[in-house]
Amino acid sequence: MNGTFTYSNPTRLHFGPASLDKLGEELCHYGPSVLLTYGKQSIKKSGLYDKIVAILQAAGKQITEDPGVMPNPTVEKLAEGAQRARDCKADLILAVGGGSVCDYAKAVSVAAWCTDDPWEKYYIRMAPVDNPIIPVGCVLTMAGTGSEMNGGSVITNHAIKRKIGRVFDDLVFPRFSILNPELTLTLPRYQMVAGCFDIMSHILEQYLSGTDDNTSDYMAEGLMRSLITASRVAARNSQDYEARSNIMWTATWALNTLISKGKTTDWMVHMMGQSVGAYTDATHGMTLAAVSLPYYRFILPLGLAKFKRFAQAVWGVNAEGKSDEEIALEGLDCMCAWMQEIGLVLSLRELGATEEMLDGIAEGTFLLRGGYKPDLTTAEVRSILQQSL
């Protein structure tokens, strides 16, 4: 295992059907003002909203609500939330929802007391956070992003057609997260399988980099095998608690910085998917699914040994009588079959993308240098997107 690194993750997790009971204990650590952040009406329809408000009231908290967080949070919504956090002098932001709500809460936590334009400072210049941060806690209702245990925060600016992810350091990580798999059971199937591919993509983008014998890769392979098994069960029976709990736990460990250690990582699938999202506002996991296979087929010759290992260790491809390239390509074919089996989108056109958008999407794709194709060009991204269409 090569490289030198530091690992730190301050998030405390409460997992299981009774995990919401821990919220009252967590609230004791914070002042009286709580900004309650959530999406639209789903947590009210499920009864979760009433339970959380009752816990907050029992703890003597003053509640300011910040509802209406959209699947791809916008700069306008961020400005609104930051103002509400300032107005109520929030001591804690409690995010109740999926990854977008958690992402948004972290953005509000750093934006509320920022004296500059938070979008320009933290998402364009990627400047370090030098203003007070409001602590964040999460009650998760959808598995996929890992936002409940990391510093990631993705915000969309429709005016300039940019969707940008920022990874803040561990001072911005949620202080605690409550993970009750039962809360994910009412999620529409489309969103559930999109979350499954978001998880798979997180693992792959860390795994498909580097050439050394790395402990992180062995963990990644186990996580992928668990995800594949659980997603198949959940796709057949969305109410299978064991499958949904395994998906939720895998999502957390897929992107809480653990399996990236010792890895260069390759986040180009996310860079392309986020740029697609800026143009189409499509579900995040589906944008990743649409671009993944063309991208991985493009870089496969440059990382052949790892793609071969992926085929054998994750998909069980039989290597007998086959070349390394044939084995590696069969692994991607297996992934494609799994994606079709659980109901994922395989083309950008299904998400509303058009030929006319491709130049803009390619131009809006940040080029990163950690993968097997560190000299990837915008023209090559355009070609991959064309194949994804």
The pLDDT assigned to 364 comes to 96
pLDDT of the residue at 74? 97
Instruction: Give me the residue spans of the domains in the chain.
Output: 12-183, 189-388
Q: Residue 31 contacts by C-beta under 8 Å, 6 or more apart in sequence?
A: 91, 92
CA 98 from chain centre, in angstroms, equals 10
Domain 12-183 sits in CATH at: 3.40.50.1970
2 has a pLDDT exceeding 90: no
Q: Which residues pair with 179 in a beta bridge?
A: 15, 140
Average pLDDT over residues 111-136: 97
Residue 364 DSSP code:
T
3-state SS string over 116-137?
CCHHHHHHHCCCCCCCCCCCEE
Give the gyration radius of the chain's Cα atoms. 20
Question: What Cα–Cα distance (Å) separates residue 90 from each residue in 30, 84, 195, 306?
Answer: 10, 8, 30, 47
pLDDT above 90 covers a percentage of the chain that reads 98
Residue 3 confidence (pLDDT): 79
**Distance (Å, whole) CA 112 – CA 66:** 13
Return mean pLDDT, the chain. 97
Cβ 158 vs Cβ 77: under 8 Å: no
The mean per-residue pLDDT over the stretch 243-263 comes to: 97
Helix ranges, the chain (H): 23-27, 42-45, 48-58, 75-87, 99-111, 118, 189-207, 215-236, 241-254, 268-280, 284-299, 304-315, 324-342, 358-363, 378-388
Provide φ and ψ at 45, rounded to 5°: -65, -35
Quick one: pLDDT at residue 285?
Answer: 97
Distance CA 52, CA 288 (A): 33
Amino acid at 325: E
Compute the distance between CA of residue 67 and CA of residue 167 in angstroms, rounded to an integer. 24
Residue 245 scores a pLDDT above 90: yes
Mean pLDDT of 56-63: 98
**What is the structure's pLDDT at 98?**
96
Express each pLDDT in 329-353 by its tens digit. Answer: 999 999 999 999 999 999 999 999 9
Strands 152-157 and 162-167: antiparallel
Tell me what pLDDT residue 208 has: 98
Count other Cβ atoms within 10 Å, centred on residue 182.
18
Query: CA–CA distance from 182 to each of 65, 96, 141, 218, 276 (Å)?
Result: 24, 14, 8, 29, 31
Neighbours of 298 (CB within 10 A): 18
Which CATH superfamily includes the segment(s) 189-388? Dehydroquinate synthase-like - alpha domain (1.20.1090.10)
pLDDT of 214 strictly over 90: yes
